[in-house]
Structures are given as C-alpha cells and as structure tokens.
Amino acid sequence: MARGVTDLQSKKPHIVVLASPGMGHVTPLFEFAKRLVLLHGCHVTFLNITTEASVAQTQLLHSPNLPPGLSVVDFPPVDLSDMVDDDASPLTRLSINVQQNLLSLKSILLEFHKPQAVVIDLFCTQAFEICKELSIPVFMFFTASTYLLAFTLLLPQLDRDVAGEFVDLPAPVQVPGCSPVRTQDLIDLVGNRKSDNYKWFLHHLSRVPMADGVFLNTWEDLEPVPVRAIREHAFYKKILTAPVYPIGPVIKESEPVTETGAECLTWLDEQPEHSVLFIALGSGGTLSAEQLTELAWGLELSGQRFIWVVRAPNDASATATFFNVGGDKNDPRTYLAERFIERTRGRGLVVPSWAPQLSVLRHRSTAAFLSHCGWNSVLESLSHGVPIIAWPLYAEQRMNATTMAEEVGVAVKIVAEETAGKRVVGREEVERAVRMTVEGEKGKEMRRKARELKQSAAKALRNDGSSNGYESLARVVSQWKVNGKI
C-alpha cells in the first residue's frame, strides 16, 4: 500500500476521509477532502476501497493533479468471492466489501500516528468501534438529502412500532418536523423488511448517532424545513446529540473529460443558448428495452435538442451499471434504432455510458436536465440554475423528486403508466414533460427558481463571515486544531 502523506509532522490537522465504493459517495467525499486541504489548511488522506471500484472512481481518485496535502491511499484488493453470493443485493455486497477492507483500518490509523479525525459516509459505520478504540473522533458526511437523514433517524423507531411492511401502511409516514413521506416515495431499501438490504441499511443508520458530528450536504435555503427539524425538533435532539453542520452544496468543481466527453462539449458550443436537454441517470441508472424505446420516441416527438447518456437496456435491474460505470464500452447502435440516430442527427447527441455532467450543466446551451434525481445530480443541477425533469429509478430518488417538484418548485415529475404489471413512461408523457420544461411557461418558472437557488448556493459557500457552509466547516476545523493541540 502506498503511503502518500509526506508531511504528517507539520502543524496542520491530519484528517482521514473514507468513502464506500460508488460515485454517489466517492465524489462528494473527495470534493469535501479537497475543500479541507485547499480552504481550511488540513492534510487529508483519502482511503480508497479499490475492490469493485468502477473505472470512473479509479479515474477520479487517480487523477494526476491532486493538490499538495491531499493523498489517496489504496486499500489492497480483497477477494469477496467466498463471502458474498453473486446474487447478493448491492448494499449487502457493498457493506461486506467495506467490512473486509476495514480489517486493516486500525493499523493504517496507527501508522498515521492517529489523525485528528476520520470522516466516513453512511455505509462505513464499522469504522466507529475501530476509531473509538484509538480515541479518534469520527464524523459522518451524509451524502443524501437532510430530509432523508430525518427519515432514516426515525427508522429504528418505525422498525419497533410497525408490524408489516412500510409500503403497505395506509397513510404517509409522519417524519417529525418535516413533510410526511408517501409510501410510494419511500427509499427502496426499506421496501422489504426481510431482505438483507434492509437489515444492512437499518444497521448502518442506527449507528449515525455514534458520530461526533454530522456534515449535511445541503444548504438552508434548499432544505430549510429538514435542517431546522434536525437541529431543533425534540425528537432529533434526543437521538442525535452530536452537532450537525450544513456545509453544502459539496459538489465536484472539475471532472476528468474523456475524448467523447470533449466532443460532447464541442457539440454543445454550437447550440443556441438554453436550448439543450441533458439526459443522464446517474452512475447506475439503466432502463428496460421498452422504456428506452419510449424515451427515444418521446425525445424525437418533442423536437427539442438533447444530449442523451445511453446505456445498454437491462430489463431486470435499474441499477445495472452501478459497480462498473465508465467501464462498459457500449455501442448505442446495438440497442437504439438506427433510424432514431439518423433522424435526430444534428439535433440530438447520443453519448455512450458517461458524459462530463458538471461541464454540461454549467454550459450556457443547457436548458434542463432529465435526471434520476440522485442527490449529487440534484445539487449539481441547482448549483448551476438548471431545472429538472425528475425520472426517479431507485434508492431515495422518488423522495428527492417529490421534494424538488412539490416543495422547491424546480422539477416536474415524469408520470409512468402501469400496464400488465409493468411501469413504463410513454412517449407522449416524455414529449409533454420535455416541451413543458424546455420551452413552456412552467419551464421558465422552474428555471427562475433554480437560478435563485444557484445564487443562494454560491452565497452559502462564500467566505464572507456570514453564517453559512464555509463558516460551519471552518468552526469544525478550528475545533480539530484545538483538540489536536495544533
């Protein structure tokens, strides 16, 4: 294992950041690590779980231009074949992967002469005991919405009180101090309480209160109600005694751009201002063959310009590329009708697997984002003032989509029809949502609101002495310095 930190004796706090595999966690924690180094004078070692890491993750963490003071240390690969069945659920697989890697955490931390703090995500909670033994404080960086945090902190109680499945409850789940969650919007990890997925989820979130502090990837203008609830509501004050720090939006500021990515940006350069719909379903999102065809038709019927990040269809799973994103060299011509590509040539661009999302969202030609509403995608879109067509697929994306559409007013939700037990979004619905968002009045209103949030996001991160994300993080770093006698 390479040891990258060369100057651990310097008068800077040394912080270890540990993320579970998957771009949705690695990206914000890595960005957080960079901020600690560049803005707050810390040394950071980012621990990289290489087992089952995607190509995109490896590219991000092994990019050549890391700022001095930030090191990436790879865990050696672990053989999971005897420990996890091939058909294990994603969270089971991920949790066992993390567990096996963390067997060496104690020796790593000792080798580092005990850092001032360890920052983890929700699925690395095995680190709590190890750090406690070494008297190292552990902070949690919650990568999803604060609304989801509020719901998850309630889950242990729901688990005790509710007899059947949560999805069968006759009424929405009342979340203290926040809007109720409709059962159809519940995070899919709680959809089957007998599943290993659920048990792992409950295990990890029951341990959030063990953290010495929780960083929230949000800002108050985006989620005023959940942030207030977590801070002030008696229910949360009782179970989460550690302070919470809204420090968001923590999103990537740059990204590796491949040759295909560069071509996509050149194409955007040639399009009129605010004219292009960007379609990307996160690092894991895939559609069924039927859904892919309907989306293609809807895009064509809408007559709007688009960039579409496409992946080979998968009828069995909506998260088919979660662990190998960026690695599947797919050829859209094998699954998209040749005529579709021909007919939309010049007006639409099809990009296989992966596009430089951040660069596309900040481009002047981009008008709207058809997104699965992963939290990072939501933050990236709003930080650039781009309204959303919400097409949630898995995890907590339905909750995010509902909040963005019904409370924040920056999204329109796509409506799926149920036929013969299958939920499919028809071409007319795609056409309606795209037209409405790119050229309609509703789209203008959503864009206005998204731009307001863009301004307030920038304000939350400004180093101007006001009470905001920058100041919150600065206060924690000062505390680390005091505790470490630095």
Catalytic residue set: 25, 121
Please, which residue, 128 or 391, has the CB nearer to ligand UDP? Answer: 391
Q: How far apart are CA 307 and CA 205, in angstroms?
A: 37
Structural tokens at position 433: 């949502």
Stretch of residues binding ligand UDP (CB under 6 A), selected from 41-49, 131-139, 374-382, 421-429 = 374-382
The owner of tokens 């058909």 is 87
Shortest Å, Cβ 26 to ligand UDP? 9
Q: Select the span of 163-171, 236-244, 280-288, 457-465 touching ligand UDP (CB under 6 A).
A: 280-288
Cβ contacts of 55 within 8 Å, gap of 6 or more: 324, 325, 326, 327
Q: Which residue has 């968001």 as its token pair?
A: 248
27's tokens: 């990206």
**298 scored as a contact of ligand UDP (CB under 6 A):** no
Q: Does 24 engage in binding with ligand UDP (CB under 6 A)? A: yes
Q: Quote the least distance from Cβ 241 to ligand UDP, whole Å.
A: 28
- Which of the residues 338 through 357 are near ligand UDP (CB under 6 A)? 354-355, 357
> If you ran DSSP here, which 8-state letter would residue 404 be given?
I
388: left (phi over 0), alpha (psi -120 to 50) or beta: beta
Helix-, strand-, coil-residue percentages of the chain, each rounded to 5:
45, 15, 40
Q: Pick the closer one to ligand UDP by CB: 185 or 255.
A: 255
Closest distance of CB 321 from ligand UDP, Å: 9
Q: Is 304 in the site for ligand UDP (CB under 6 A)?
A: no
* Site for ligand UDP contains 276 (CB under 6 A): no
Angle 441-461/427-438 helices, nearest 10 degrees? 60
Shortest distance (Å) from residue 218 CB to ligand UDP = 13
Q: Which residue stretch of 21-29, 192-200, 206-214, 458-466 sits at the interface with ligand UDP (rule: CB under 6 A)? A: 21-29
Q: For residues 451 and 333, give the distance between their C-alpha atoms in angstroms, rounded to a whole number.
A: 37
Binding track, positions 378-417, relative to ligand UDP; x by CB under 6 A: --x-------------------------------------
Burial class (CB in 10 A: 0-12, 13-18, 19+), 221: middle
Q: Does residue 27 touch ligand UDP according to CB under 6 A?
A: yes
Residue of 248, 246, 18 whose CA lies nearest to 121: 18
What are 262's two structure tokens? 């560069």
- One character per residue 43-62, x = contact with ligand UDP (rule: CB under 6 A): --------------------
Strand order in the sheet with 117-120: 70-74, 43-48, 14-18, 117-120, 138-142, 213-216, 244-246
Q: Which stretch binds ligand UDP (CB under 6 A): 106-114, 292-300, 330-338, 376-384?
A: 376-384
Helix (H, G, I), strand (E, B) or coil at 447: helix
SS3 403: helix
Q: How far apart are CA 34 and CA 219, in angstroms?
A: 19
Nearer to ligand UDP, 280 or 457 (CB): 280
248 binds ligand UDP (CB under 6 A): no
H/E run at residue 352: strand 348-352
Q: Please report whether residue 286 would count as binding ligand UDP according to CB under 6 A.
A: no
**Is residue 309 at the binding interface for ligand UDP, with CB under 6 A as the rule?**
yes
Choices 232-240, 282-290, 443-451, 474-482; region in contact with ligand UDP by CB under 6 A: 282-290
Q: Rounded to the nearest 10 degrees, how much is the dihedral formed by the CA atoms of 250, 253, 258, 259?
A: 140
Contact 17, 4 (CB under 8 A): no
Task: Name the minimum Å distance from CB 345 to ligand UDP.
Answer: 21
Residue 173 β-bridge partners: 181
Which of these ranges, 81-89, 166-174, 368-376, 428-436, lies near ligand UDP under the rule CB under 6 A? Answer: 368-376
Number of residues binding to ligand UDP, judged by CB under 6 A: 19
State which of residues 283, 365, 383, 403 lies at the interface with ligand UDP (CB under 6 A).
283
For 48, residues 6+ apart whose C-beta sits below 8 A from its C-beta are: 19, 26, 57, 61, 72, 73, 74, 75
Does residue 280 touch ligand UDP according to CB under 6 A?
Answer: yes
Contacts of 247 (CB under 8 A, 6+ apart): 32, 215, 216, 217, 469, 470, 472, 473
Q: Contacts with ligand UDP in 62-91 (CB under 6 A)? A: none
Out of 369, 375, 391, 470, name the contact with ligand UDP by CB under 6 A.
375
Buried-state track 368-394, b at ≥16 Cβ within 10 A, e below 16:
bbbbbbbbbbbbbbbbbbbbbbbbbbb
Q: For the packed helices 23-40 and 469-483, what is the interaxial angle rounded to 10 degrees?
A: 70
> Letter for the amino acid at 186?
L
Q: Pick from 13, 137, 249, 284 the residue near ligand UDP by CB under 6 A.
A: 284
Least distance (Å) between residue 329 CB and ligand UDP = 14
Tell the smallest beta-carbon distance from residue 280 to ligand UDP (Å): 4
- Please choose, out of 20-28, 82-90, 212-220, 431-439, the segment that lies near ligand UDP by the rule CB under 6 A: 20-28
Of 148 and 309, CB closest to ligand UDP:
309
- Candidates 376, 400, 402, 472; binder of ligand UDP (CB under 6 A) is 376
Q: Least distance (Å) from ligand UDP to the CB of residue 252? A: 6
Binding residues for ligand UDP, per CB under 6 A?
23-24, 27, 252, 255, 280, 282-284, 309, 354-355, 357-358, 374-377, 380
